[in-house]
């Protein structure tokens, strides 16, 4: 028996029980299960896993940004003399910014292509272990007179969901742009006279 109401389900337990008893239903019945509560309990483990995965992903993203910043900062420090010569010969600040940002964005593009290829390959491997269940199936809840039978076959998201790939790609691009912009900004502040004497 499925009951849908605009009030809290707990307020309906007593009147429904009385109605079923009056209709001659089994005294051991009914057992009430709030679908939202059962679903929340069944998904608790998945939510914990997703929380840890999100934390690890955030730490990985931070480390990648710091690493990219370190590589570009080191590159700018080594090319101080080159930047000074370019500026002495008439290079504008925009030219120097384009030089450093271009170097960083090339690294990001190469890493992005490799990452997408690995993600697609991993998605195919995971799909092979999905026991024949489509990865686009949604969770469903079956409640009967005994214990609730919660079967979660999927999360409604494909392993190769293009929206997810695009969203993550844009996030990584934004973080990479900030990591590249800081060394590029430092390069534009190089004094050409001092840079020519830099060793």
Cα–Cα nearest to 100, from 2, 44, 184: 184
pLDDT in tens, 46-64: 778 888 888 998 898 888 8
pLDDT in tens, 179-190: 888 888 887 887
Q: What does the pLDDT read at residue 2?
A: 66
Residue labelled with tokens 């900030």: 178
Confidence of residue 148 (pLDDT cuts 50, 70, 90): very low
Confidence of residue 25 (pLDDT cuts 50, 70, 90): low
The yes-or-no verdict on residue 165 having pLDDT over 50 is: yes
| DSSP per-residue string spanning 48-86 | HHHHHHHHHHHHHHHHHHHHHHHHHHHHHHHTHHHHHHH
Output the average pLDDT for the chain: 73
Q: What does the pLDDT read at residue 150?
A: 42
Under 8 Å between Cβ of 96 and 188: yes
Under 8 Å between Cβ of 167 and 188: no
The yes-or-no verdict on residue 90 having pLDDT over 50 is: yes
For residues 186 and 165, give the distance between their C-alpha atoms in angstroms, rounded to a whole number.
32
Q: pTM for this structure?
A: 0.56
Q: What does the pLDDT read at residue 144?
A: 41
Under 8 Å between Cβ of 5 and 115: no
H/E stretch holding 20: helix 13-22
Q: What does the pLDDT read at residue 42?
A: 67
The yes-or-no verdict on residue 134 having pLDDT over 80 is: no
Q: What is the arithmetic mean of pLDDT over 64-68?
A: 84
């Amino acid at each position: 028996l499925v009951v849908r109401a605009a009030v809290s389900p707990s307020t309906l337990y007593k009147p429904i029980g009385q109605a079923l008893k009056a209709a001659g239903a089994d005294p051991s019945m009914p057992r009430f299960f709030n679908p939202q509560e059962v679903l929340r309990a069944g998904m608790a483990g998945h939510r914990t896993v997703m929380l840890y995965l999100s934390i690890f992903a955030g730490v990985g993203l931070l480390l990648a940004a710091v690493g990219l910043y370190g590589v570009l900062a080191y590159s700018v420090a080594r090319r101080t003399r080159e930047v000074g010569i370019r500026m002495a010969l008439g290079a504008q600040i925009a030219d120097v910014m384009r030089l450093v940002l271009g170097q960083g964005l090339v690294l990001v593009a190469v890493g992005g292509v490799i990452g997408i290829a690995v993600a697609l390959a991993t998605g195919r491997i995971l799909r092979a272990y999905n026991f024949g269940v489509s990865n686009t199936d949604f969770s469903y809840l079956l409640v009967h007179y005994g214990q609730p039978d919660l079967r979660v076959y999927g999360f409604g998201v494909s392993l190769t969901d293009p929206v997810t790939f695009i969203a993550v790609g844009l996030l990584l691009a934004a973080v990479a742009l900030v990591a590249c912009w800081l060394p590029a900004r430092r390069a534009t502040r190089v004094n050409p006279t001092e840079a020519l004497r830099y060793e």
